[in-house]
Amino acid sequence: MCIKEWKRIAEQEATRYREHKAFMKGVEDARGTVTERCRSSMRWVKAVDLVLAYLQRTNDEHARFFRLLFGIDGTPAYRGEKGMIALSFEFCVSVSQLYQWKSELLSLLLLAAAQTGALLPYRTE
Average pLDDT over residues 37-43: 82
Amino acid found at 41: S
Instruction: Say if 125 falls within a structural domain.
Output: no
Q: Is residue 102 within 8 Å of 95, Cβ to Cβ?
A: no
For 50, the domain range is 3-116
Number of domains in the chain: 1
How far, CA to CA in Å, does 47 sit from each of 15, 102, 110, 112?
13, 16, 8, 5
Angle (deg, nearest 10), helices 95-116 and 80-91 = 100
Average pLDDT over residues 10-38: 79
Q: What is the pLDDT of residue 44?
A: 92
Instruction: Say if 63 falls within a structural domain.
Output: yes
Residue 50 contacts by C-beta under 8 Å, 6 or more apart in sequence?
Answer: 112, 115, 116
Scored b (16 or more CB within 10 A) or e, 75-100 reads eebbeeeeebeebbeebeeeeeebee
Query: Does pLDDT of 124 surpass 60?
Result: no
Instruction: Say if 30 falls within a structural domain.
Output: yes
Instruction: Say if 36 falls within a structural domain.
Output: yes
Instruction: Say if 121 falls within a structural domain.
Output: no
What is the Cα gyration radius of the chain? 15
Instruction: Say if 13 falls within a structural domain.
Output: yes
Categorize the per-residue pLDDT at 116 as very low, low, confident or very high, splitting at 50, 70 and 90. very high
Instruction: Say if 34 falls within a structural domain.
Output: yes
Please write the tens of the pLDDT for every residue from 60-100.
Answer: 999 999 999 998 887 777 888 898 999 999 999 999 999 99
Instruction: Say if 124 falls within a structural domain.
Output: no
What's the CA gap between 24 and 34, in Å, rounded?
Answer: 9
